[in-house]
Amino acid sequence: MPAYLRKLFQKQITYGAIDLGSNAMRSLIARRLGDELTVIKSFRVPLRLGEDVFNGGFISPAKLEETENAFIELFHSFAAYGVTEVRAIATSAMRDAINGPELTEKIFKSTGIKIEIIRGKEEAGFICDAVKSQLDFRNHDVLLMDIGGGSTELTLISCGEIVGVKSFNVGTVRLLHYKNQVELEKKINFELDRMLSFIKDNFGKRRPEYFVGTGGNLRRIGKIRKKTLGRPTSQLATFSEISHMEDIILSMSYVDRIRGLELTENQADVILPATMLTQKLMQKLKLSEILLPKVGLKEGILLSMQDTTPKKFNLLD
């Protein structure tokens, strides 16, 4: 039978992957046909669960209702696209929330979607798989950093294998609590010292050959690089460019960031701590550039749902 006819008779499966983070809920719908997995739709809802949890330890009744409604709306979207396989993962804010189990129960009753609350190391594993689907580091030492709203995950890879994973409570929403610039830098420097110790414990005197960044804030840095600095791609940034972006962002008001950098209200405040953390880590390690592939936790969740690894993984632009 010709290949094109074989493809017609193959069963198509539609997947829904959900990442319930501290800053936002992100979701993807993808279709699998044969050895090809294609993302066809993405969603983002800025729930900011971390604002409640990192201040008081629990999710407020208003946020509980808002999150449940967001899942109900997402459930209807999944139904419209014919989604038959769903996996939902929750990270830092839900890990810390006293009433996290209450929220998962409410959402399960409303939609039938079961939320898994995972630890930082599991989160890093999903992200690493997503990055490996796009980049080949089989013969190199790699530092992978994912900056989320509640935590930052560092993953160390050597010759294609994970040699170290650690989660740090230094996410962008957590850092918003530091209203004073001096206190913000003090907190970042404290966590930075811990990160450097972790890297040294696993890599010794070796410097990472590649630095890879994931997460919504780092993808936004790539987009600012392309649009504001006029560079040809958003999938990498140099140390000097990130330092320049930090200066630009520091000089702008919250409103100016929204207008000048084309950020949403939900992005305009968290972009600064993300940029500062990235710049300082690159400076300490003397790294010249960071790679910014268009993948993260939600893509890793999608890949975890596959019985076999797709030969081709098509992402949205």
Print the SS3 string covering the chain. CCHHHHHHHCCEEEEEEEEECCCCEEEEEEEEECCEEEEEEEEEECCCHHHHHHHHCCCCHHHHHHHHHHHHHHHHHHHHHCCCEEEEEECHHHHHCCCHHHHHHHHHHHHCCCEEECCHHHHHHHHHHHHHCCCCCCCCEEEEEEECCCCEEEEEEECCEEEEEEEECCCHHHHCCCCCHHHHHHHHHHHHHHHHHHHHHHHCCCCCCEEEEECHHHHHHHHHHHHHCCCCCCCEEEHHHHHHHHHHHHHCCHHHHHHHCCCCHHHHCCHHHHHHHHHHHHHHHCCCEEECCCCCHHHHHHHHCCCCCCCEEECCC
pLDDT at 243: 96
Place of tokens 């997947």: 15
Q: Which of 176-180, 182-186, 216-220 has the lowest mean pLDDT?
A: 176-180
Quote the pTM value: 0.91
Decide: 167 and 120 in contact? Cβ < 8 Å: yes
In this structure, how many other beta carbons lie within 10 angstroms of the beta carbon of residue 229?
13
Distance of CA 251 to the CA centre of its chain: 26
- Could you please state the CATH topology (level 3) that the domain comprising 3-120+298-314 is classified under: Nucleotidyltransferase; domain 5 (3.30.420)
**pLDDT of amino acid 178:** 81
Each residue of 138-151: pLDDT tens digit?
889 999 999 999 99
What is the structure's pLDDT at 177? 83
Q: pLDDT tens-digit profile of 46-58?
A: 999 999 999 999 9
User: What pLDDT does residue 191 have?
Assistant: 95
Half-sphere exposure in the Cβ direction for 248 (13 Å, CA): 19
Are 3-120+298-314 and 135-293 in the same CATH fold? yes
Instruction: Indicate whether 8 pLDDT > 80.
Output: no
Q: What percent of the chain has pLDDT over 90?
A: 85
Confidence of residue 197 (pLDDT cuts 50, 70, 90): very high
Averaged pLDDT, 202-229: 93
For residue 317, name the pLDDT band (cuts at 50, 70, 90): confident
Question: Residue 266: what pLDDT?
Answer: 85
- Topology of domain 135-293 in CATH is Nucleotidyltransferase; domain 5 (3.30.420)
Q: What pLDDT was estimated at residue 138?
A: 85
Instruction: Examine the pLDDT at 7 and tell me if it is beyond 70.
Output: no
- Domain range annotation of the chain: 3-120+298-314, 135-293
pLDDT of residue 180: 82
Mean pLDDT of the chain: 93
